[in-house]
Amino acid sequence: MKSFNEKVYEKLKKVPKGKVITYKELAKSVKSDAYRAVGNAMKNNEDPVKIPCYKVVCSDGFVGNYSGGGMKKKIKLLRKDGIEVNNNKIDLKKYLFKAQDIM
DNA sequence: GGAATGACATTTA
DNA sequence: CTAAATGCCATTC
């Protein structure tokens, strides 16, 4: 039985390079609205190597938090993926990956 | 079973 | 618009 976070990881791994997804959309992708639980899954970070958790951002485009060095590290990783980050925020208009796009 | 926690989201003042 | 308060779901103790 896959745990909720396992499913979240699966979806997160399907996010293409150069794109980001919000906690809410990610939760929707697993047929739930538990964006809180999603954040918990990232925090627990069972597979930090296989899970690009840095692609997960807040609904308003704010980068939010990150375990692995802080937001600064997260932003750096995002930029490395070709994503523009302005004032710790991302252009969801350009880089937001929707849950339905995963399906 | 119940209380507490969290890398958020939405609403209200 | 900014700030604060409330709600949210799943997990863990």
3-state secondary structure labels for all residues of A21-72: EEHHHHHHHCCCCCHHHHHHHHHHCCCCCCCCHHHEECCCCECCCCCCCCHH
Nucleotide nearest to A48 (CA to C1'): B7
Q: Is the CB of A54 under 7 A from strand B?
A: yes
For residue range A40-78, what is the model confidence (pLDDT) as tens digits? 989 888 777 888 999 999 999 999 999 888 899 999 999
pTM over 0.85: yes
Residue A95 neighbours by CB distance under 10 Å: 20
Residues lining strand C at under 7 Å (Cβ) are A 3-5, 32-34, 36-37, 40-41, 44
